[in-house]
Chains A and B, each alone.
Chain A
Amino acid sequence: MSSTNQVQEPESDGNVYDEQLEMYPEFNRYQYGFYKDFAEADGIKWAGGGWSYEAIPEGLGDDVYFLAGEPYGAVVAYNEEISRDFLNAADAKGLSSDLCGYMVNYWGGLTQNKYVLPDGTVYDQFPDVDFNVNSHICCTHAKWYQKAGELEAVYTDPNGEQTPFFGVDIIGGPNAYDDEDLIEYNRVQIEQMIDWIQEVTGRTFDDARYIKAVKNEMWTMSTWAKVCALQKAHPAPLEERRMFSLYAPSIARRSTDEAPELYARLLEEVTDMVERKATVSGRQDFRFISDSPPPWAHLDIYRYIRDEYNAVSLGSLYSWGLTGAWRGFDGGDEWDWTPLDTPMERGIEIEDRDTAIEEMIKWNMRRPAWNVFGGHLEAKQKVTLAMAEEFDVDFVLMHLNRGCEGWALNQVEVSNYLKDHGIPVLEYEGNQADQRDFDPSKLRQKIDMFMEGRFNA
């Protein structure tokens, strides 16, 4: 691996391997920045699920800071020692480890009144949150902030008060954005939420700021999809393990003014890599994808499969389908992994609150991940098979994720479906955020069995 930022020379096969991504440190800086701001900046602070309508609270001012629970849960899980403390603390309070892995890390941290940055820096006070907002993506995740508010009252809030909580029921799914009743249902809740956040914070909602945030979110998600789409190339320019840092802001902090610009620069760099047949990885003898979040505390299994077999993960339904904007079913029956242009590029002008709300709703309902969490089996099968085929993979690595009901929904059936369609699948049980719920040596054995048995590798 080169230790400089210089572009490598091509190998004898015409590819450039082990290239350093220039935007990588920029993304790390941005991510570190928003986690740090959440602890230290002054302003409005809110926490909630990453699928929430992030743009709405942006209408409250220039000084709004958001902590998305899931990526923060991943940050905690990745810091193994701290995570272990938080998980044990949660256990001690009777918060079952069968529940969503991110959530248990989060609650554990609340009971310790601690907050963590990506580099493992720990604050001995969880930031004072003005309000929590969540959507209902699954029956477990939905109750995250119900409990969080109760814990905050006991452990973190200086006044012993429960953090005000608002729920927005979004509901996506195949072609959900064509459902007028559903859009109306969302709209009614959003209007109510806008009133509510003004009441809770005492601020006045600024339409212009909100509209800008809506567009920022759209640019971010559309551009991210365009980056992911480049993984169709041979060699694929990126590798999922290192894409996680690039993906994270698109779920954790996508509606700022800076986010779209970061992603635009990333797209430029990766496009250039494709033209030069460059990749951040080494040889790519095998290409694979997965579907759910990885076991964050055990990302070394990606290194293992790469080192032993030159097998590279291109991405997953999770890293592309949660925050990338894609054409999808587009009113039809077949799934299309072509990136979706923003409404602005499609000639829709978003200049007033009502239009912004409507377009924001439709945009958020199009997340491919709704086909997973909504339980739409046939849709998930098509989405996954299309990914495997369009991105020309050799196999699918299926993480049966005990840390997330939503992602695990229909996994076994999808696995059956893929196998029926000639795509080999390697399944393993794990947990995205509970490091204890995982057997790395058994998984390495399984990987060996699979690669040897299936591919004579």
Chain B
Amino acid sequence: MSKYTSEHYPEPALEEFRQFRAWVNDPHEYGRAWKERNDGGVVAFFCTYAPRELVYAGGLLPVRAYGGHTASEIAESDRHIYRGMWCPFSRDVLSQGLLGKYDYTDGIVMASTCLHLRQTYQSWSENVSEEGDFQHYFMMPHGAQQDGGVEFLASKLRETLQAVADYTGKEVTEDDLWEAIEVYDENRRLLREIYEFRKEDRPPISGLQALEMVKSSHIADPAEHNELLRSALAKLEDYDGPRRDPDYRLMHISSENDDRRFMYLVEEDLGFDVTVVTEEACVGTRDFWNTTTDTYADDPFMTLAERYLERPPCPNKDWPYRNRMDQISMLADEFNVDGAVLIAQKFCDPHLLDIANERDLLEDEKDIPTLELEFDASVPIGQFKTRLQAFVEQLQTDAVDMEALY
């Protein structure tokens, strides 16, 4: 199991992906170095619904706080979060904060999303944040589909930008905001363009590399990240390096999931040629699939509000009606998926509430077998390996039957 550390992962062919990996290996080093290079602070967020553009417009770097995936560290938050009911991610993130891993950050920002991360924010605010830190928690529409939601969210974003300006002591203009929006939009466009290559029969990048690429977009300055994405894209358009050659193309549909050990297990250690070709998850397509539109071309707040409400929803925002299944269906089709792993963090209610519908959609309507897994901060490799191998064997059997038919 010690081969599950990043030194053992297959080395990416492209240097841009090697850089993404390095950033993911030590996000704190990046954050600290960024602060030294720039005259700005770093603001942590916990959920991808946090409006990063507003923070960035103020000259601050938004970084997503991630867990440490180390069982011995996660209990640190037991004094603050009810362990018997809160998801491992929410607890792991807070534990990292309590252990001082994010001591280079200068604040936190959150829009009201799932209750577990609200707890993380509140406990972080109470026990990790220091006097004078930037702290901004605001209510956004709980469901993404309501009439009046865009206007309401826009009003909260306006307040948020003012809070950023108050914190930095500098004026933050609408032009600053438009610029920030453009940088993040470009990041999303580029990610999506690179993802197109995962649709190929022989994808040039693995699921693990894609995960590192997306996760690093939550760690690095988007302008810097964009440079690497552009240069990677150019190389991929004219690519002649090693490719995956999967017999089985999988997707995962997950709660928060940044677990590289899991990806390594699936893609390198099952004894089958498996590649994860896409995902419907926040460390993934949910976060970058849509950019802003020009519906509200003269109002950056309405523009952003629309973008955040229209993005592929997390289950907790897929309300009151289920729209999310269309996105899952589209991804499964376009990426030509053979099987899907449905992953919920332990106690993740929003995903638990949707899993049955995901399963029905994929198995009954699309004939795509599914496997359900429950994640903890550190996944039990031995047990998951057995289950995943059995799952792939099932895909193998189904494929064989199809051949026998014809």
Query: Which A residues form the contact surface with B (CB < 8 A)?
Result: 94-96, 98-100, 134, 136, 138-140, 142-143, 145-147, 150, 165-167, 169, 171, 173, 176, 181-182, 184-189, 192, 373-377, 400, 402, 405-406, 408-413, 416, 429
* Across-interface contacts of A187 in B (CB, < 8 A): 148
Contact call B353/A409, Cβ cutoff below 8 A: no
Contact call A99/B352, Cβ cutoff below 8 A: yes
Query: Which B residues form the contact surface with A (CB < 8 A)?
Result: 79-82, 84-85, 112-116, 118-119, 121-123, 125-126, 137, 139, 141-143, 145-149, 151-152, 155-156, 315-316, 319-322, 347, 349-350, 352-357
Contact call B152/A182, Cβ cutoff below 8 A: yes
* Across-interface contacts of A377 in B (CB, < 8 A): 122-123, 125-126
Contact call A185/B85, Cβ cutoff below 8 A: no
A77 and B274 alpha carbons, distance in the complex (Å): 46
Contact call B143/A167, Cβ cutoff below 8 A: yes
Contact call B118/A412, Cβ cutoff below 8 A: no
Q: Chain B nearest CB: distance from A68 CB in Å? A: 17
Contact call A140/B81, Cβ cutoff below 8 A: no
A412 and B85 alpha carbons, distance in the complex (Å): 12
Q: Chain B nearest CB: distance from A439 CB in Å? A: 12
Q: Chain A nearest CB: distance from B82 CB in Å? A: 5
Q: Known: A169-B141, A171-B139, A405-B85. Contact between A375 and B121, CB under 8 A?
A: yes
Q: Chain B nearest CB: distance from A77 CB in Å? A: 18
Q: Known: A171-B142, A410-B122, A416-B79. Contact between A134 and B320, CB under 8 A?
A: yes
Contact call B149/A400, Cβ cutoff below 8 A: no
Contact call B321/A146, Cβ cutoff below 8 A: yes
Q: Known: A409-B115, A409-B118, A409-B119. Contact between A184 and B82, CB under 8 A?
A: no
* Across-interface contacts of B149 in A (CB, < 8 A): 169, 185
* Across-interface contacts of B354 in A (CB, < 8 A): 143
Contact call A185/B141, Cβ cutoff below 8 A: yes
Extra inter-chain contacts (5) besides given A142-B316, A192-B147, A377-B122, CB under 8 Å = A140-B115, A140-B350, A165-B321, A185-B152, A189-B148
* Across-interface contacts of A192 in B (CB, < 8 A): 147
A166 and B143 alpha carbons, distance in the complex (Å): 12
| Chain B residue nearest in CB terms to A141 | B349
Which single member of A139, A147, A171 contacts B114 (CB below 8 Å)? A139
A193 and B149 alpha carbons, distance in the complex (Å): 15
* Across-interface contacts of A400 in B (CB, < 8 A): 82, 84-85
* Across-interface contacts of B357 in A (CB, < 8 A): 150
Contact call A142/B142, Cβ cutoff below 8 A: yes
Q: Known: A96-B352, A99-B352, A413-B80. Contact between A375 and B112, CB under 8 A?
A: yes
* Across-interface contacts of A96 in B (CB, < 8 A): 352
Contact call B126/A181, Cβ cutoff below 8 A: no
Q: Chain A nearest CB: distance from B321 CB in Å? A: 7
Which single member of B119, B316, B350, B353 contacts A375 (CB below 8 Å)? B119
- In the assembled complex, 13 residue pairs joining A and B whose CB atoms fall closer than 8 Å, in A order, are A95-B356, A134-B320, A142-B142, A146-B321, A169-B146, A171-B139, A189-B146, A374-B139, A375-B121, A375-B122, A408-B82, A412-B80, A429-B84
* Across-interface contacts of B320 in A (CB, < 8 A): 134, 142, 145-146, 165-167
| Chain B residue nearest in CB terms to A134 | B320
Q: Chain B nearest CB: distance from A382 CB in Å? A: 13
A188 and B145 alpha carbons, distance in the complex (Å): 13
Contact call B142/A169, Cβ cutoff below 8 A: yes
A182 and B316 alpha carbons, distance in the complex (Å): 20
A147 and B137 alpha carbons, distance in the complex (Å): 30
A410 and B94 alpha carbons, distance in the complex (Å): 13
Which single member of B84, B115, B151 contacts A406 (CB below 8 Å)? B115
Which single member of A100, A184, A405 contacts B151 (CB below 8 Å)? A184
A406 and B349 alpha carbons, distance in the complex (Å): 12
Contact call A173/B139, Cβ cutoff below 8 A: yes
Contact call A143/B353, Cβ cutoff below 8 A: yes
| Chain B residue nearest in CB terms to A140 | B349
Q: Chain A nearest CB: distance from B100 CB in Å? A: 19
A416 and B126 alpha carbons, distance in the complex (Å): 11
A136 and B155 alpha carbons, distance in the complex (Å): 20
CB-CB nearest 10 A-B residue pairs: A167-B320, A188-B148, A375-B118, A139-B316, A136-B142, A185-B152, A181-B155, A377-B122, A140-B349, A185-B148
* Across-interface contacts of A171 in B (CB, < 8 A): 139, 141-142
Which single member of A188, A189, A402 contacts B85 (CB below 8 Å)? A402
* Across-interface contacts of A408 in B (CB, < 8 A): 82, 85
| Chain A residue nearest in CB terms to B154 | A181
Q: Chain A nearest CB: distance from B33 CB in Å? A: 33
* Across-interface contacts of B147 in A (CB, < 8 A): 188-189, 192
A167 and B143 alpha carbons, distance in the complex (Å): 8
* Across-interface contacts of B143 in A (CB, < 8 A): 136, 142, 167, 169
A95 and B359 alpha carbons, distance in the complex (Å): 13
Contact call B126/A184, Cβ cutoff below 8 A: no
Q: Chain A nearest CB: distance from B334 CB in Å? A: 26
Which single member of B112, B148, B319, B350 contacts A167 (CB below 8 Å)? B319
Which single member of A94, A143, A147, A184 contacts B350 (CB below 8 Å)? A143
Q: Chain B nearest CB: distance from A442 CB in Å? A: 14
| Chain A residue nearest in CB terms to B155 | A181
Q: Chain B nearest CB: distance from A43 CB in Å? A: 24
Q: Chain B nearest CB: distance from A126 CB in Å? A: 20
A411 and B122 alpha carbons, distance in the complex (Å): 11
* Across-interface contacts of B350 in A (CB, < 8 A): 139-140, 143
Contact call B118/A143, Cβ cutoff below 8 A: no
| Chain B residue nearest in CB terms to A186 | B148
* Across-interface contacts of A182 in B (CB, < 8 A): 139, 152
A400 and B85 alpha carbons, distance in the complex (Å): 9
A181 and B84 alpha carbons, distance in the complex (Å): 37
Q: Chain B nearest CB: distance from A401 CB in Å? A: 8
Contact call B115/A138, Cβ cutoff below 8 A: yes
